[in-house]
Structure 1
Amino acid sequence: MSYMSRWRHSAAFTKLTLPGVALAAALALPSLSSPALAAGKTISAVMHSDLRVLDPIITTAYIVRDHGYMVYDTLLAIDENFKVQPQMASWKVSDDKLVYTFTLRDGLKWHDGKPVTAEDCVASLQRWGKRDGMGQKLMDFTKSIEATDAKTITLTLKEPYGLVLESIGKPSSVVPFMMPKRLADTPADKAISEQIGSGPFKFVQAEFQPGVKAVYEKNTDYVPRSEPASWTAGGKVVKVDRVEWITMPDAQTAVNALQSGDIDFMENTPYDMIPVLAKDKDLKMEVLNKLGYQTLGRMNFLYPPFDNIKIRRAAFLAMSQKPVLDALIGNADYYKVCGSVFGCGTPLETTVGSETLVKGNGLAEAKKALAESGYDGTPVVIMAPTDVSTLKAQPIVVAQQLRDAGFKVEVQATDWQTVVTRRASQKPIKEGGWNMFFTNWVGADILNPISNVSTSGKGKSGGWFGWTEDAKLEELRDKFSRATDPAEQKKLAAEVQERVFEQVTYIPLGEYQLPSIWRKSLTGVIGGAATPVFWNIDKKE
């Protein structure tokens, strides 16, 4: 039976609303025209967001990171025990801890057939080091990175730095993916022109339809490592011929397609449907990202009203985590009120400065602070994505909390990819700028002051969207990066958090976990530190 016929004859089809029917038909038609669909095994997946941006170095958007893991590979990787492991390269460290030597393993080829060289990897590290928070800090301590021969990368430090391997092996945004030098030489603020990696899948550019689907085919030239797959480390053994990411922004439509067998995998299970889906004998549901997510708000420091610290503090005092989590998740089994910038249950957990966020008792103080701040009624422009279930509630709830404190608020609804593009703009509000947006960090991205780029104080010269400029924060982060004693690290992390809340660098709004769900015809689905991966998965026909 054809793909379209299955849609028409499935029991789920009768449940669809008219918009859902139109969407299903639209999604089916491109697949019908695909010559590769009938050949081999194909996994159809609905990811958490539509893919539009393709360069995984120029954005922290997780869907682009996930795309990166399909197409590209990394020098090092993190396993399920949080240990750094070799991936494309092994390493040695000099006795004085100043020289790290990485040696590429055999069998590495780019998708265009050319061999991977150390020169390619040096250029990739340099480009990544201009965009990523941990990369930027590593480069601050780096004297040189050189290709000393075709397979050897030599990184020399100015002084010992304890997070070299953890930085190069980091599992989440921005991941140091390796690219050919001709692509890695692209300026760090401009998107690369091709999707050529050395990873386990190849991107099928000819079939890419933003808003409809993205297609990946097995890289038959890929030589996986011999170790078992473990998070982003180990052998990336591809057992299917093709993976299609199908765009279905309506959760009910996606669930219906999953139940009928028209798709195989859904990254985000709608919370309100969990009780029903858990009883479906054909489906398996599991939290793949055990570290969960931190949801957060981020202000723009460049323009009124949040260029004024008194107004930022008033807004901070107005916010409360539990109403956000109730609206976002609803099911208390999957969320946690958490006042720690670095995550609850982690070595650096601290509650310093978080009382009003956690207890929700800051409104009266917020009104008083706003009245004394000189606020002139400038509207707060909040970007609100409508097509990602885990980002819909935060703008609405926080907008009302700010209004309750006396702010004027303008909520501007768009899709998430528009937010991803627009948040990079430093233009004034009247020219398409913004005052606030919301996003989610996976737990792997917030574990310490170096990986958590929301704590950066680099401002417009390399800082994360919002462009906080704070020399004291950077001083504290530098001290943390040099510290080796766990007690000293914990002390410094608490000082960083205190400064973050004092300056309102960003606002953590709680933690949550989100189960994925797939048909039992898929086997070998593995969890990860941050991202769903499609190697190791087989499909029963």
Structure 2
Amino acid sequence: MTSRITRRDFLRLTGGTAAASILAACSPVATPAVAPSKPAPATTAPPSSATATPAAAAGTPRKGGLLRYAYNGDPPTLDVQFTTTNVTSWVGLHMFETLFTYDDKFGPIPDLADSYDISSDGLTYTVKLRKGIPFHNGKEMTSEDVDASLRRWGKLSGTGKTLFERLDSLTSPDKYTMIFKLKSVYPLFETALAISGSQDPVIYPAEIVKEASDGEIKQTIGTGPYKFAEWQKDRFLRLTRFDNYVPHGDKPNGYGGKKAAYLDEIRYIAVPDQATRVAGILSGDYDYVDEAPRDQYPQLKTNPKVKIALDHTWRMAEDIINLKSAITSDQKLRQAMQAVLNCEEILKASQGLPEFYRLSPSLMLEETRWATKAGGEAFNQHNPDKAKQLLQQSNYKGQTLRWMTTKDFPGFYEEALVASQQIGQIGIKTDLQVMDWATLVKRRANADDWELFTSGWGIFTDPMLSPQFLGTYAGWWQSDKAQAQRSQLMAKPKFQDRFPIWEDLQRDWYDEVPCLYVGNTRGYRIMNPKLMDADQLTVVTRAMWNAWFQQ
């Protein structure tokens, strides 16, 4: 016996929240994928080019224009499944899609899936695929592509591994049906198969998955509203409209529904320097600037040449500790570092204005139902005397801790600088190593290369969607107690039964100190005043579908 699950049912069961991870990457990096076709020639036409379709009214979206998106730096790869790096998803989710996505209330809804049924015992999910969905190479998407893509994702992604460990079988009885049979109830099924902004379970053509084998995909082909055109590394990356794109519905609905490619082209321009990005948008060279400098916010918010928008959600500011290192595997040393931190001082130095930071002991953002203060007495202690006592109890012998950070993201370097100075006050030596984000992502995969690195996470709607709480993220928090608590969390379908387990896990996290958590941060974006609907979908990814230029 099966029953069709409705959006209302799902929201009742899960609380209607969505998962998105930001600023994370733990997979190895290889040469970026390239497209099989010849790149279209680069254009230099301004957004309001004469070829744009006239709008019926000032507020009516119209086709046309080039969106020049200035970002910190190139992604390490365009293979969304291969890395947790957020910028790969930000770019890639314009080209690739998943079985599920999120509506405007952050409830999961079908995307490449057409519908799905759940058996009465909750162990069998039958997913019907949409028919007539073309890949960018003209081939129709079928269950063969979904099967190959998800099996690959299940080997690469922490969330994917968790799902596949619970699968008894995955079969495709016909071209448009996938049947997932679970060994036990899995409360995160739809969410796991939705976009997340980090190592998303996107669908590739089966032959491309086979060609990639254990490496990266070699052809950038998906089903999304934009397709790959050209990539000149460290200069620009071009996406162009996919004219044969088939949207799911005729109205936008959060990250699903109608995804309109109004723009002729999205051109991502690598501009590592913040000042250059700001000067460029003020002079009309760019149309969208992400990760804008905090100190210029007061002036820019009143500048008529641009419009700005604060991020819709917060991020977790953290410095990950390598638990495989012979030095930082010492729990007392990690506790000493945690005890000395003055988190407010760190956040003021890294974020500047109070609009951009907040102190919170919860390891799940306050906007989620998982927020708790459990173990929070260890947060923001600012207790040098206690820290020195803990250091004396450790096995620390004056070794230098290698601390990787970057200036690619606002506040990362300043956070590491001030935190390392505070730690230095109790006698712990650090070597602050500054590098671009792509290099940091590559190096952190090797446990022999570092002791700490600066990172951050965005909104997750379940702790078991976060790679760091799964123990799969660089740093490798895999204690027996944590592993047991993870298993308990995944075995309970009801939130009221899972929440106390999560509170215990957070308490143990503060005791074991797998990273130095300093609080929440957020940023803002600067836009061309004529760019419409480009600030609506920024929680899970930076979605430019449905964005358009006013005449």
TM-score, reference length from structure 1: 0.87
Of 400, 418, 421, the match for 1:397? 418
CA contact (8 A) 1:348 1:448 kept: yes
Letter in 2 for 1:469: Q
Deviations 1:187-209 (A, max 9, x none): 786322221111111112xx312
Change (3 A) 1:317 1:184: farther
Name 2:160's counterpart in structure 1.
135
* Counterparts of 1:187 and 1:243, CA distance in 2: 26
8 Å contact kept, 1:142–1:155:
yes
Correspondence for 2:97? 73
* Contact 1:52-1:210 at 8 Å conserved across structures: no
Q: Which residue of 1 aligns with 2:519?
A: 510
Give the corresponding residue for 2:219: 194
Alignment of 1:360-509 (within 5 A): 360-426=381-447, 428=448, 433-443=449-459, 445=460, 447-457=461-471, 463-509=472-518
Q: 1:262 aligned to 278, 285, 288, which one?
A: 285
Structure 1 counterpart of 2:83, from 59, 63, 81: 59
- Tell me the amino acid that sits aligned with residue 121 of structure 1: V
Could you tell me how far 1:125 is from its partner in structure 2?
1.4
**Contact 1:171–1:232 (8 Å) recurs in 2:** no
1:512 and 1:55 mapped to 2: Cα distance? 28
Distance across 1 between alignment mates of 2:210 and 2:420 = 42
Task: Give the alignment partner of residue 337 of structure 1, picking from 341, 351, 359.
Answer: 359
The residue number in structure 2 matching 1:242 is 265
1:347 aligns with 369
Number of the residue aligned with 2:190: 165
1:357/1:296 Cα in 2 relative to 1: closer, same or farther (>3 Å)?
A: same
Pick closer, same or farther for the CA change 1:280–1:533 going to 2, 3 Å.
same
Deviation at 1:527, TM superposition (A): 2.5
CA deviations 1:71-126 (Å, max 9, x no partner) are 10111001221211110112111122111111111231111111111111112112
1:131 to partner: Cα distance: 2.8
Structure 1 position 310 matched with structure 2 position 332: yes
Q: Which secondary structure state, in structure 2, belongs to the residue aligned with residue 469 of structure 1?
A: coil
Q: 1:35 and 1:193, CA in 2 relative to 1: closer, same or farther beyond 3 A?
A: closer
Shift of 1:213: 1.1
Task: Name 1:23's counterpart in structure 2.
Answer: none
The alpha-carbon deviation at position 227 of structure 1 amounts to: 4.5
Percent identity for Structure 1 against Structure 2? 26
The reply to whether residue 44 of structure 1 matches residue 60 of structure 2 is: no
Mapped to 1, the partners of 2:530 and 2:227 lie a distance apart of 24
Q: 1:34 & 1:318 partners in 2: Cα distance?
A: 55
Counterpart selection for 1:532 from 542, 546, 551 = 542
CA separation in 1, counterparts of 2:413 and 2:430?
16
Instruction: Provide closer, same or farther for how the CA distance between residues 229 and 390 of structure 1 changes in structure 2, counting only shifts above 3 A.
Output: farther
Q: Distance in 1 between matches of 2:418 and 2:455?
A: 14
SS at match of 1:392: helix
TM-score (norm 2): 0.85
What's the secondary structure of 2:379's corresponding residue?
helix
Report how many residues are paired. 493
The alpha-carbon distance between structure 1 residues 174 and 91, as it changes in their structure 2 partners (threshold 3 A), is same
Q: Structure 1 or 2: larger helix share? A: 1
1:152-174 Cα offsets, whole Å, 9 max, x none, are 11111012211111111143212
* 1:93 matches 2:118: yes
Cα deviation, residue 418, structure 1: 0.6
Paired amino acid for 2:315: Y
Q: 1:338 to 1:63 in 2, by over 3 A?
A: same
Which one of 232, 235, 239 corresponds to residue 209 of structure 1? 232
Q: Give the alignment's Cα RMSD to 1 decimal.
A: 1.9
Q: Secondary structure at the match of 2:233?
A: coil
Give the conservation status (yes or no) of the 8 Å contact 1:102–1:154.
yes
Structure 2: how far apart are the matches of 1:311 and 1:439? 20
Deviation of the 1:451 alpha carbon: 1.1
Residue 348 of structure 2 is aligned to residue 326 of structure 1: yes
Is this contact kept in 1: 2:72–2:270, CA < 8 A? no
Consecutive unaligned residues in structure 2, runs of 5 or more: 1-39, 46-50, 52-63
Alpha carbons of structure 1 residues 406 and 170: separation in structure 2 relative to 1, 3 Å:
same
Give unpaired runs (5+ residues) of structure 1. 1-32, 458-462
Equivalent position amino acid for 1:315 in 2: M
Q: Cα deviation per residue 1:446-504 (whole Å; 9 max; x = unaligned)?
A: x33201221123xxxxx211222223212212211232333322211101101112221
Tell me the alpha carbon deviations over residues 8-32 of structure 1, each in whole angstroms, 9 at most, x when there is no partner. xxxxxxxxxxxxxxxxxxxxxxxxx
